[in-house]
Amino acid sequence: MAKVVKLACIALATQIMLAQAAGTASADTQDLRPDQVAFRALYKELVETNTSLSVGSCTLAAEKLARRLKKAGYTDKDLTLFTTPEKPKDGGLVAILKGSDANVKPMLLLAHLDVVEAKREDWTRDPFTLIEEDGYFYARGAADDKSQAAIWTDMLIRFRMDKYVPRRTIKMALTCGEETTYAFNGANWLARNKPDLIAAEFALNEGGGGRTDGKGTLVVQSMQVGEKAVQNFKIEATNPGGHSSIPVRENAIYQLGDALGKIRDHEFALEMTDTTRAFFSKAGAARNDATGAAMVALSKDPTDKAAEAIANKDRTLHSLLRTTCVATLLEGGHANNALPQRAAANINCRMFPGRTVEETRAALEAAVNDPGVKVTVTPPLRPIAVPPPLDPKIMEPAEQLVAKYFPGVPLIPSMSTGATDGIFLEAIGIPVYGVPGTWGDPDGNGVHGLNERMSVKALYTGRDFLTDLVKRYADGS
C-alpha cells in the first residue's frame, strides 16, 4: 500500500493541525498514521456536508472534494464537475488518474454522495456531526455511502501525491440521487449523457463488504456480483361511488383489498444466476443446519421442492431466489360518508436479473385476475438488471487479499436484493462489483435508520484493503 512519507516532526505537526481543524479531541487521532489523519479529516468534511434531498447539496460536497483533488495535483482536465440547470444541488464529480498503458481499458470507482433524510430530534446525536464513540463513527452517511466516497477520493489523492502511475487508467464517479427513486440520478445521467467519460472495463461500487457475529468477530466477506432491479407499479380500482347509507358490493376499497390479497399470495418462480448458485453452495456449506443443507441442495438442483420449502422459510433466501413484489403505500376514498370512487396501492417489485418491467406487470395483472383493477407502471423506469460474470480476474485478487487481511474468513459472491446505481452502468455494458473490505454488524448499523454508525476499525482496515485491491486491478491485465 502506498504511504505518505514525511519527516517525523512534520507528520506530528500535521496530525495536530488536522485534529484541531476538524474540531476533535487529540485522543481521536493520536494513534493514527499521518495518512489516516488526513483521511479522517476528509471523511469528516464529507459526512458533515448535508446531502439529503430536502435541504442538502451534493453539488457542494462534490466541489469540496474537487478542491482537495486539485491541491493534490489534479488539473481541470482531470476533473469534471457536473450538474443540470433544473437540479443545481444534485451535481457530482468525475475524476481521472491516467494510466501508463492505453491498450488496457480503464476501471471505474463508483460511490454516491446523497444520504437518506435524518431528523435531529429523532437521533441520539446530531446526524450531521461526525462523532467517534465506543469504537464507532456516528453520523448519517457514516456508512452509506460516504465511507466509500471518502475512501475512493482519499485513494486518488494519495496516488497522485505518491506519484503512483497505474497501468490501467482509474476513473472515479461520485454521484447524487441513489437513495431516492424519483430524484435526479447522477449515475443514470452520466450513463445516458457522458458514457465515454465513465467508460470502463468494470466498476467497483458499494454493495459488498463483511459481517460480524454481533460481538466484534468478522465471520464473512462478500463481493456483490449482481442485483435486482427496482420497479414500482400502481394497482387501482375505480367505481361510480355514491352515498354510504346505501352500500353496494362493487366497492373500490373491497376490490383493491381482494387484489392485494392475491398479490400477497402470488409466488414468482424460483430462478438462479451463477452468483446466487455459488452463494447458496458456499454459504450453505458453511452452515451446520437444515437450511444450510437445503441451500447446497438447491445449488445442485433448483427443482428440489423440498429444499426450496426449507429455504423459503428464511426471508432473505426466499428473496434471493425470485422476483418479489409487496404493497408499500395505500390510498382510497374521498369522504367518510361516501362510497369510494377509487382506491389504489403502490406495489414495490424487486425484479430478478433479466426480468423486464412489462413481464412483471403482466404477472401482477394475471395474479389479480380482475379486469376492474388496472396495473400500471410508475415512473421512473429502471433498466433491466444484467448480472455481471463471476470473472476470475475480479474474484481471485479479492480472495487473495481477504485471505491476507482476514485469515480464515471466506469471501462469498452475493446478489443484492436491494438496488444500487450499478444497474445504470450495467445497462451500458460496464459490469459492476460491490467490493469487500469494510464490514458491519448483523443489526445493519442503523443504515437508512436512526443513529447510523461505522466501525472505526472497519473503516481504516477497509481503506487499506481497498487500496491494495484497486492497485492489483489497476496494475493487472
Q: Is the dihedral of CA 240, 242, 245, 246 positive or negative?
A: negative
Give 201's DSSP letter.
S
Rounded Cα gap, residues 332 and 342, in angstroms: 6
Give yes or no for residue 104 having a pLDDT over 50.
yes
Average pLDDT for residues 128-139, to the nearest whole number?
98
From the list 340, 153, 128, 104, the residue with the least C-alpha distance to 244 is 340
Q: Say yes or no: 138 and 24 in one domain.
A: yes
Q: 2 lies in a domain?
A: no
Residue with cell 459481517: 211
CA angle, corner 434, sides to 114 and 79, nearest 5?
55
Q: 111 lies in a domain?
A: yes
Q: 400 lies in a domain?
A: yes
Average pLDDT for residues 150-175, to the nearest whole number?
98
Average pLDDT for residues 241-267, to the nearest whole number?
97
Q: What percent of the chain has pLDDT over 90?
A: 92
Q: Identify the bridge partners of residue 234 per DSSP, sorted by sequence position.
A: 346, 376
CATH at 113 = 3.40.630.10
Rounded Cα gap, residues 61 and 113, in angstroms: 7
Local confidence band at 8 (pLDDT 50, 70, 90 cut-offs): very low
CA angle, corner 445, sides to 30 and 177, nearest 5?
100
C-alpha dist (Å) from residue 170 to 56, 92, 97: 29, 17, 5
Give yes or no for residue 16 having a pLDDT over 60.
no
Q: Say yes or no: 195 and 304 in one domain.
A: no
Q: Say yes or no: 59 and 176 in one domain.
A: yes
Q: Say yes or no: 450 and 413 in one domain.
A: yes
pLDDT, the chain, mean:
93
Give yes or no for residue 14 having a pLDDT over 90.
no
Rounded Cα gap, residues 193 and 133, in angstroms: 43
Rounded Cα gap, residues 284 and 298, in angstroms: 10
Q: Which of 378, 402, 425 is the last residue of a domain?
A: 378
Give yes or no for residue 468 having a pLDDT over 70.
yes
Phi first, then psi, for residue 292 (nearest 5°) are -60, -45
CATH at 248 = 3.30.70.360
Q: Say yes or no: 190 and 327 in one domain.
A: no
Q: Say yes or no: 233 and 219 in one domain.
A: no
Q: What pLDDT was estimated at residue 27?
A: 57
What cell numbers appear for 168 in the block?
490501467
Q: What percent of the chain has pLDDT over 70?
A: 94
Amino acid code (one letter) for 435: V
Name the burial class of residue 214, with classes exposed (0-12), middle (13-18) and buried (19+) by CB atoms within 10 angstroms of its CB: exposed
Rounded Cα gap, residues 264 and 87, in angstroms: 38
Q: Which of 341, 356, 378 is the last residue of a domain?
A: 378
Q: Say yes or no: 171 and 122 in one domain.
A: yes
Average pLDDT for residues 131-153, to the nearest whole number?
98
- Tell me the residue length of the chain: 477
Counting the structural domains of the chain, the total is 2
Q: Is the peptide bond before 389 cis (omega within 30 degrees of 0)?
A: no
Give yes or no for residue 10 having a pLDDT over 80.
no
The answer to whether 37 and 19 have CB atoms below 8 angstroms apart is yes
pLDDT tens readout for residues 184-235: 999 999 999 999 999 999 999 999 999 999 999 999 999 999 999 999 999 9
Amino acid code (one letter) for 462: G
Cα maximum dimension of the chain: 88
What cell numbers appear for 332 in the block?
382510497
Q: Say yes or no: 108 and 249 in one domain.
A: no
For helices 34-47 and 8-22, the axis angle rounded to 10 degrees is 20
Average pLDDT for residues 426-446, to the nearest whole number?
97
Q: Say yes or no: 143 and 282 in one domain.
A: no
Give yes or no for residue 17 having a pLDDT over 50.
no
Q: Which of 358, 378, 398 is the last residue of a domain?
A: 378
The answer to whether 140 and 128 have CB atoms below 8 angstroms apart is yes
411 membership: H or E segment, kind and range: strand 411-416
Q: What pLDDT was estimated at residue 477?
A: 58
Q: What pLDDT was estimated at residue 462?
A: 98
Q: Identify the bridge partners of residue 82 per DSSP, sorted by sequence position.
A: 92
Question: DSSP readout, 184-249?
Answer: --HHHHHHHH-HHHH--SEEEESS-EEEE-SSS-EEEEEEEEEEPEEEEEEEEEE---EETTS--S
Q: Say yes or no: 125 and 258 in one domain.
A: no
Q: Say yes or no: 204 and 73 in one domain.
A: yes
Local confidence band at 43 (pLDDT 50, 70, 90 cut-offs): very high
Q: Say yes or no: 216 and 267 in one domain.
A: no
Give 334's DSSP letter.
S
Q: What pLDDT was estimated at residue 1?
A: 36
Q: 3 lies in a domain?
A: no
Give yes or no for residue 276 having a pLDDT over 60.
yes
Q: 178 lies in a domain?
A: yes
pLDDT tens readout for residues 71-98: 999 999 999 999 999 999 999 999 999 9
> Which domain, by its residues, includes 240?
229-378
Residue with cell 493487472: 476
Rounded Cα gap, residues 54 and 74, in angstroms: 32
Q: 1 lies in a domain?
A: no
Question: 9-16: long-range contacts (C-beta < 8 A, 24 or more apart)?
Answer: 14/38
Average pLDDT for residues 396-423, to the nearest whole number?
96
Give yes or no for residue 23 having a pLDDT over 70.
no
